[in-house]
Amino acid sequence: MILEDIKKVGVVGAGTMGYGIAINFALWGYPIIMSDINDKILQQSVKNIKSAMSLFVKEELITDEQADDTISRIATTTDLAKLAINSDFITEAIIEKSTDKRKLFNQLDELCPPHTIIVSNTSSLVLSDFGSDVNRQDKIGITHYFAPPHIVPGVEVVKGPGTSDETFDITYSLLKKIRKIPIRVLKELPGYLLNRIQGAMSREANRLWAEGVATAEDIELGVKSTFGFRMPHEGPMMHYDVAGIWKWPKDVRTAMSARRSNPESEISAEAAQKIQQRMAEGKPWFVDPERFDEAIEKRDTEYARRLKDLYWTKER
């Protein structure tokens, strides 16, 4: 199977996430069939789609014509079989309950043509929790969107224990085709990749609040106005590069990597060693050391513009 074999797409569950996921596919040309348990929910989700498209038009992301085309590509049904036989690629976005997802995956496995790929938008479960009875183990996976899914560009693509490379690659390419930013998660683990990173921050923020280190307001403001401010340009890996940490003296880097791999973070000895070795190399992740000054200039230009947009003209 290749990407071009995917011509029709289904979304099961038309709630907060489902209608936005449907928009992504419909906007870039795929006919969509979306299902839920009753017509009332489907009618509401069509309303949500229309209002999302009005916002996109108002913000000049798309034209009126694109909005109309997107809406016209989305059909709805309460008949799962109808959706199943008409879909080459299905995204499940129903309630976050393992038993319900298991039942649905088994039903879809029975009803869909053999080539259909079925993925879940679960935010915390893993395929082993609910996909283990499915016959097409090679054709199931996870695509984890971030709310609102028609706006936030990044989507995690997570491999399950049986997901084939073909399914993984097609899913990745399909997301690229609909202008999302797919992030490959190569191993199945609870929380996948990004919620683990986000969770680590939230955990620490809650703890610092509970220990009376700062108010909730100051924690929020601090995160948004410091590393949150930088985030569109640099995440934790790029930060190592542009902050020039890789150029620091080796003993300072060693002390830092020891802190980053400290046992409190429940890191394995093997992973801790890998972090320490990588930091000992004194090499950036992405930036060419010969073009470091150029990278900094680009960063500062971007930051200065963001400073102007977000803070400069605001009353303080």
Ligand X SMILES: NC(=O)c1ccc[n+]([C@@H]2O[C@H](COP(=O)([O-])OP(=O)(O)OC[C@H]3O[C@@H](n4cnc5c(N)ncnc54)[C@H](O)[C@@H]3O)[C@@H](O)[C@H]2O)c1
**Residues in touch with ligand X (CB under 6 A):** 12-18, 35-37, 41, 93-96, 100, 104, 121-123, 145, 147
* CB-nearer residue toward ligand X: 89 or 145: 145
* 3-class SS of residue 257: helix
* CB-nearer residue toward ligand X: 30 or 192: 192
Cα angle 202, 96, 54 (rounded to 5 degrees) comes to 80
* CB-nearer residue toward ligand X: 66 or 77: 77
* CB-nearer residue toward ligand X: 76 or 167: 76
Q: Which of 132, 164, 173, 195 is catalytic?
A: 195
CB of 141 to ligand X, least distance (A): 14
CB of 172 to ligand X, least distance (A): 18
Q: Which two tokens stand for residue 116?
A: 């259909």
Annotated catalytic residue 106: no
Annotated catalytic residue 290: no
Annotated catalytic residue 123: yes
CB of 44 to ligand X, least distance (A): 9
Q: Which residue's Cβ has the minimum distance to ligand X?
A: 15
- C-beta separation of 54 from 68 below 8 A: no
Q: Which of 35, 45, 144, 257 is catalytic?
A: 144
Give the integer Cα–Cα distance in Å for 200 and 194: 10
Q: Is the backbone of residue 235 left (phi > 0), alpha (psi -120 to 50) or beta? A: beta
Q: Which of 156, 234, 257, 261 is catalytic?
A: 156
DSSP string covering 185-246: E-S--TTTTHHHHHHHHHHHHHHHHHTTSS-HHHHHHHHHHTHHHHTTT--HHHHHHHTTGG
Q: Which of 123, 132, 164, 173 is catalytic?
A: 123
CB of 156 to ligand X, least distance (A): 10
Which residues, including other chains, have CB under 8 Å from residue 141's CB and lie 6 or more apart? 117, 119, 120, 127, 157, 158, 159, 160, 163, 167, 168, 171
Residues forming the active site: 123, 144, 156, 195
